[in-house]
Amino acid sequence: MHSNHLLLEEPIRMASILEPSKSNFFPAMTKIVGTLGPRSRSVEVISGCLNAGMSVARFDFSWGDADYHQETLENLRAAIKKTRKLCAVMLDTVGPELQVVNKSGKAISLEVDGIVTLTPDQGQEASSQVLPINFDGLSKVVKKGDTIFIGQYLFTGSETTSVWLEVDEVKDEDVLCVIKNSTTLAGSLFTLHASQIHIDLPTLSAQDREVISTWGVENKIDFLSLSYTRHAEDVREAREFLSKLGDLSQTHIFAKIENVEGLTHFDEILQEADGIILSRGNLGIDLPPEKVFLFQKAAMHKCNMAGKPAVITRVVDSMTDNLRPTRAEATDVANAVLDGTDAILLGAETLRGLYPVECISIVGKICAESEKVFNQDLYFKKTVKFVGEPMTHLESIASTAVRAAIKVKASVIICFTSSGRAARLIAKYRPTMPVLSVVIPRLKTNQLKWSFSGAFEARQSLIVRGLFPMLADPRHPAESTNATNESVLKVALDHGKASGVVKSHDRVVVCQKVGDASVVKIIELED
């Protein structure tokens, strides 16, 4: 009896597997963050990435100088104009990253069972016997038996160019290690990760502060990805630093969780941060492999319930060199969507991969397929139960809007918002239809000049699942009269029609503030 019942309940039918995937205006509700680098910095390739579905561009300052990244960013701006697609900018800090310094750039071959010495003496030449590192405290924190991992693409891709070391002996400032696998390290910079070891370096390095206060301020970055976030205090310090920079007080801070320390303090970090990046590359070294999925599921759930974006990394490593992902990777992307991720972050795949555009396009397709079978009903009930009663005013409006939209099978939810919070809350309940967030610019002054806010808020929704921003025309401040509200709604609907999201006889749910009241209304469109 029960097995039969289960078959009826099953959301996934074999027939739908054989149907070709439909192409939609919104390729997927799940967002894609692409890292721009050597293989993805021309206007042409970036335009391809935007058209394929990238909505956030990540600039990784672990390599390349400010001028290099500035040139890439100018190309991004040109590509945005060309494709008319919005894109946000994320600056990724280096943080307390330990590095092996290979000045000559010669390849270094390491043989299994051999011994190699890690030394803080950077005057030495890197060789098969000695690897100079940029940190003089390693000998104080490791002991015999600890695991150390060194690789060129540790965080971004193929691990065939990496070596596992086991600490054998600590001699003064030097650390002697046994080599656990034969490999050749090629390139001038390798990252070193000591598993489950606390590294006593500031989360925002002096170099990070310098880059943020120059490049970051000049370019009004939307997101700061805080590498190696280990405590809530790290986020608070970064926030204080940003607010002193004036222009960046609105920048959202995404805490990157990449080691056991960050994991231990996850709840308090989540409270302080605007979003979370689950850096599985590093976590996969710090945690036993069989624990990584547990952390992913637990962390996602917490982010979803808090209504804060969760971003996942290291999903299609093999696409760095291949046109197709492995089956396991394709399944992994789909599972991340079913787990509730907001965005997928591509590193090596777009940065130095051979197929940046195809990679974004395939990930988008996998996301779109998984969204169709996302169990919204169960998710909604869980979220409402988790939030409990009494609900805040905003939360209750947001959940009502989503419930109404699902009940009347609306094709889109339109939300008027000035801070972006209302739209993010609607997205928190994971509606099955896109949410157009119409950001109403607010006039504000800093005593010197008047300016309109809104661009930040619009771009910051580009990392939230299901949210698609539109900036309303500041010449019609929507607060003034109801008539302008209607005209902004008309613009939003026209945008929806043009993009194929809404057609005549569709129902649309609109969520807006009228005076002090919040209103959720259902509109049926005429011809």
- Residues 441 and 453: beta-carbon distance below 8 Å: yes
Is residue 9 domain-resident?
no
Judge if 355 and 386 occupy the same domain. no
Is residue 106 domain-resident?
yes
Out of 348, 371, 394, pick the residue that ends a domain.
371
Q: How many whole angstroms from its chain centre is CA 269?
A: 16
What are the CA-CA distances from residue 18 to residues 12, 327, 365, 366, 429 (Å)? 12, 17, 15, 15, 30
Q: How many secondary structure helices (H) and strands (E) does the chain include?
A: 20, 24
User: What's the residue count for the chain?
Assistant: 527
| Exposure on the CB side of residue 504, measured as CA atoms within 13 A | 2
Judge if 300 and 387 occupy the same domain. no
Judge if 504 and 400 occupy the same domain. yes
Out of 178, 194, 210, pick the residue that ends a domain.
194
Judge if 471 and 382 occupy the same domain. yes
| Token pair 């889109």 in the structure block, residue | 412
Judge if 166 and 218 occupy the same domain. no
SS3 per residue for 229-257: CCCHHHHHHHHHHHHHCCCCCCCEEEEEE
Judge if 90 and 217 occupy the same domain. yes
Task: Give the CATH number, domain containing residue 41.
Answer: 3.20.20.60
Query: Domain containing 457: what range?
Result: 376-525
Is residue 1 domain-resident?
no
Number of domains in the chain: 3
Is residue 279 domain-resident?
yes
Judge if 240 and 132 occupy the same domain. no
From the list 130, 131, 148, 111, the residue with the least C-alpha distance to 189 is 131
Is residue 267 domain-resident?
yes
State the pLDDT at residue 13: 60
Tell me the pLDDT of the chain (527 aa) as tens digits: 444 444 444 555 665 666 666 555 567 999 999 999 999 999 999 999 999 999 999 999 988 899 999 999 999 999 999 998 999 999 999 999 898 988 888 899 999 999 999 999 999 999 999 999 999 999 999 999 999 999 875 544 455 678 999 999 999 999 999 999 998 888 777 889 998 899 999 999 999 999 999 999 999 999 999 999 999 999 999 999 999 997 899 999 999 999 999 999 999 999 999 999 999 988 888 888 899 999 999 999 999 999 999 999 999 999 989 999 999 999 999 999 999 999 999 998 999 899 999 999 999 999 999 999 999 999 999 999 999 999 999 999 999 999 999 999 999 999 998 888 999 999 999 999 999 998 887 777 766 667 667 888 889 999 999 999 987 776 655 444 455 677 888 888 988 888 888 988 999 999 988 777 889 999 999 86
Would you call 382 helix, strand, or coil by DSSP?
Answer: helix
Is residue 7 domain-resident?
no
Judge if 126 and 78 occupy the same domain. no
pTM here? 0.92
- Residues 449 and 470: beta-carbon distance below 8 Å: no
Q: CA-CA distance, 90 to 347, in Å (whole number)?
A: 13
Judge if 42 and 165 occupy the same domain. no
The β-bridge partners of 147 are: 166
The β-bridge partners of 115 are: 178
Is residue 43 domain-resident?
yes
Q: CA-CA distance, 238 to 225, in Å (whole number)?
A: 10
Judge if 471 and 322 occupy the same domain. no
Judge if 75 and 116 occupy the same domain. no
State the pLDDT at residue 247: 81
State the pLDDT at residue 21: 61
Task: Give the CATH number, domain containing residue 125.
Answer: 2.40.33.10
Out of 194, 228, 253, pick the residue that ends a domain.
194
Judge if 218 and 344 occupy the same domain. yes
